[in-house]
Structure 1
Amino acid sequence: MKLKPHLLGILVILLTALIIFFYFSTRLLNKSTFTLDSKENKFTISLRLKEKQKKDLFEILDQLSIPQNVLNGINFQLDATSSAALVYLTPITADIKINNYSINFNGHISHSPFDQTLSEEFVKAPKSSNLIMFAPNLLDFILNGRTPTTRFGESIIKKTNYPQNLINWFKLNFNDKNGQYLFVFGKNADFALLTKKDNINLYALEDIKVNEQDPSQYKEETRSNINYHLLNIAQSQNESSQTLTFFLNGKWTIFASSREAAFDVSDSLNSESDFIEFPNHNIDTDTQLAVFVLNEDKYPINQNSINFMLGEEFNAQKNNQKIINTIDAIERIQLILKGDKFSGLIKVK
C-alpha cells in the first residue's frame, strides 16, 4: 500500500507531535510486531502477525475505516524535514497485543527526539478534556502549531493570530523547557497551558496593546480568592471578542484561551472529584512526552476539537472524511515516551 505524504501529515497532526503520531498511525496496523526502517529517504513498515489473532485485527481495522490490505506492508516518503527527523529515529520496533478492541504496544526507537528528561506530576484536567499533553515545552504548539519542541521542530499549522507584541511576551515568559501541560476541552475546544515557571509578571500584560493607538484591553477579576488577568485581543470592533486569561494556582501559572476556560481549569485543579487525573501511569524521572486523547460518548471530539488538533486547513484536504471516521471510531489513545522507549494504548469503540 502506498501512503501519500499529505495523508501522513494529517495523521501526524492528530496526535500533535509529527513523529510521535506517525507511530500511532502505523501501530494501528500491527498485530504482534512491526518494524519501521529507512533506506535512501524511503520508509518501509514490515509486519509480522500471529495468524490466530488476524480476525480481531480485521474487526478493528474495519471499525477504523482502514483497508485490510495495509497488513501487506506500507511504503511511503515524507518531505525533507520530516524525513530527516524520522530517519534519526529509525529503526523503530514494537510489540503489539490486541484484546477486546484495545491495542497495547511497547516499542523502541534508535534515538530520542528530545534533549532532556523530566519528572511528571499529577494534575487535574477538566472532565470534558479531549486532549491532554505533557512535554518539555508546548508554547510553540499553541502559538504556531509546531510539534512539541524537539531537535526537529517545524511549523505545521497556524493556530493563533495573536499580535506580535503578545507573542514576544509569551516567548519571554512562557518559553520554559522544564515541563508543561496542555488541556484541550469543551465544545469550543478551549485550551489551557500550565507551566511551573514562577517569575512571570502577569501585571505586565497591562502594557500590551493590540493597536498602539487604542487603550489597553487589560483588566483584572477576582473569583473564589483567585485573581484573573484578562486581555481582550480583538483587533477591531467587527472581530469577535477573544479574552485570553492568566492566573496563578498553587505552583502553576496558567494561560487559558478564554475567561470561561480559565474558570473551568481552576475548578478542576481545586476539585476533589470532578476532574481527570493525568498522568494515569506510574510517574518517574525520565518521561519526555505523554499524550492522552479522549473521545468518550459524553464528551466526544467535535469539529472544533479536530480543527484545533489538525488545523482548519484540514477541511481543504482530500479524503478528510475518512480521517474523521477513523477519529470517531477511537475512544482513547495513550502514548508515553521515555528516552528511547515508548508504550501506549489505542482503544476502539
Structure 2
Amino acid sequence: MGKLNPHTSAKKLIHKLFRFKIPIKFNKKYSAFVLLFLFGILIFLIFNAKDSRDITITVGAGENKFKLNFDIPQEKQPKLDHLLDKLALPLSIKNGFEFELDATSSAALAFSLPVQSILDIEDNTIKFEGTFNPTSGKVLPKAVFRVPASTNFAIYAQNLQDFINQKLILPEEIANWLNKNLYANEGQIMVIFGKNAQFALITHANEVNFEDLKNIQISSTKEPIYKKDLIEEFQEVHLLKIPQNNGQKETTFALFQTGNWLFFTSSIEAATDLIKINKSQLPSLEFNPGNGQEITMAFLYQNSGEYPINEQFGKFLFGERVELVKFAEKISFGEFALKKDQFSGLINLK
C-alpha cells in the first residue's frame, strides 16, 4: 500500500484534502461523502479520460487509517504512469494509498464503511454513484425552491447551525434566539448567491417569536439593534443591526417569513432579491434537492461564465483552505444527493 509523501506541491494538495475537516456538520456521517465528492474531482484530473469505462473506488479501514483502492482499466495504465511522473507522484499510488482524517470525520467515515463508488467518465463530465453502510440519518421533508439565478451553492441538510455559528460573529442573545426559532425544526436550506456572496438560510418554522427580538439588548452598544420595516410594499422584514468586534462596520441581517418558511439573510439586499424572486420579478432557477427522491442531504454547485465564484464565495464556504477554492474554480457544475444507503453525484469540469 503506497503512502503519499507530502513534499511536492501536488502531494501537499492531496494531503491537505484528506486532512480537510468538513466545516458543515450536517450529521457526523456526511464528511465521508463530501470527501468522496472531492476525490472524484481529483480522479478526473489525473486520468483526463475520454472514454466511459468505469473506474471503481473502494474505501476501507485498517490500523487506525483509511485505505483507498482503485480498479483501473488496463488500457489507462501507460497514460496514468506518464501523468503521475509529470505530477511527481509515486507510481505506487495506483495500488491504493492510506490517508488520515480528523477525529470527528474519522469516526464518521469508519461508521459508514464500506463505501464503494463507480465513476463514469466522459469528456469533461464525471458521474458517480455508490453505496455505504446504512446509518440513522433522517429523511428530509421534500422541498422545492426558486433560488436566484446567480446561485453558486445551495444545500439542503439536517442542520446547518454549526456552520452558520462558525461563520458569523453573533452576540449570545441573538444566537439564542436563532437556536429557538431558526433551528427549531430539522431540515434547512442554505443558498450562496450574487457577486458579494450573499447568503440565505431557509427553514420550516410554524411559530416564530419576533416579539422577543424587540427586547434584546447588547452591552456593546446603546443603540437599538432591532427594527421592523416593510420592503417591496407589503413584505414585513425584521432587521438586526449587529456590531462587530473587529473594527469593521456593523452588519445588518434581515429576517422575513413567507407561509411556514422563515428566511434569515445576510443583508436587506439579499432579502429583497428573494422576495422579488418569490414574485417572479427576478431571474431564478429551481432547486429541487434529490429530484423528488427521499434524501438525507443534497447540494448544488454552479460556477458559470455569467455567475462565476469569487474571492468572497471562497472565503465564506472554505475559509482559508485555498486548495479547495482552487479545485472549485475548475468545476462549472456539481450536484450530490445522499440517501439512506446510497449516494450519487455529477461533476462538470471547465
User: 2:237 aligned with 1:228, yes or no?
Assistant: yes
- The residue type equivalent to 1:181 in the other structure is I
Counterpart of 1:18 in structure 2 is 31
Task: Report the CA distance between 1:60 and its aligned residue.
Answer: 11
2:228 and 2:154 mapped to 1: Cα distance? 28
Contact 1:58 1:68 in 2 (8 A): no
Cα distance, 1:235–1:304 mapped onto 2, change above 3 Å: closer
Counterparts of 1:1-349 in structure 2 under 5 Å?
A: 1-2=3-4, 6-10=16-20, 12-13=22-23, 18-28=31-41, 29=43, 31-52=54-75, 71-112=94-135, 115-144=137-166, 159-211=167-219, 214-224=222-232, 225-235=234-244, 239-271=248-280, 274-279=283-288, 281-284=290-293, 286-311=294-319, 313-314=320-321, 320=322, 322-349=323-350
Query: Is 297-306 or 44-53 further displaced after alignment?
Result: 44-53
1:249 and 1:323 mapped to 2: Cα distance? 35
Contact 2:273 2:282 in 1 (8 A): no
Q: SS of 1:24's equivalent? A: helix
Counterpart of 2:49 in structure 1 is none
Root-mean-square deviation over aligned CA pairs: 3.1
Task: Report the CA distance between 1:13 and its aligned residue.
Answer: 4.6
Contact 1:37 1:92 in 2 (8 A): yes
2:148 and 2:83 mapped to 1: Cα distance? 29
Contiguous gaps of at least 5 residues in structure 1:
145-158, 315-319
Q: SS of 1:282's equivalent? A: helix
Task: Report the CA distance between 1:115 and its aligned residue.
Answer: 3.0
Task: State the TM-score, normalized to the length of structure 2.
Answer: 0.82
1:173 and 1:163 mapped to 2: Cα distance? 16
Q: SS of 1:37's equivalent? A: strand
2:211 and 2:82 mapped to 1: Cα distance? 55
Per-residue CA deviations over 1:91-141 (Å, capped at 9, x if unaligned) read 1001111112111011011133x5311232110111111110001222222
Task: Report the CA distance between 1:10 and its aligned residue.
Answer: 3.9
Cα distance, 1:160–1:281 mapped onto 2, change above 3 Å: closer
Task: Report the CA distance between 1:210 and its aligned residue.
Answer: 2.9
Cα distance, 1:237–1:324 mapped onto 2, change above 3 Å: closer
Q: SS of 1:204's equivalent? A: helix
Structure number with greater Rg is 2
Query: Is 178-187 or 210-219 further displaced after alignment?
Result: 210-219
2:335 and 2:315 mapped to 1: Cα distance? 20
- The residue type equivalent to 1:233 in the other structure is I
Task: State the TM-score, normalized to the length of structure 1.
Answer: 0.83
Aligned length: 324
Contiguous gaps of at least 5 residues in structure 2:
7-11, 45-53
Cα distance, 1:238–1:280 mapped onto 2, change above 3 Å: closer
Q: SS of 2:101's equivalent? A: coil
Cα distance, 1:259–1:53 mapped onto 2, change above 3 Å: farther
- The residue type equivalent to 2:173 in the other structure is N
Cα distance, 1:54–1:174 mapped onto 2, change above 3 Å: farther
2:205 and 2:336 mapped to 1: Cα distance? 25
1:130 and 1:15 mapped to 2: Cα distance? 20
1:249 and 1:331 mapped to 2: Cα distance? 32
Q: SS of 2:292's equivalent? A: coil
Contact 2:31 2:109 in 1 (8 A): no
Counterpart of 1:153 in structure 2 is none
Cα distance, 1:199–1:177 mapped onto 2, change above 3 Å: closer
Q: SS of 1:167's equivalent? A: helix
Query: Is 203-212 or 226-235 further displaced after alignment?
Result: 203-212
Cα distance, 1:11–1:57 mapped onto 2, change above 3 Å: farther
- The residue type equivalent to 2:268 in the other structure is R
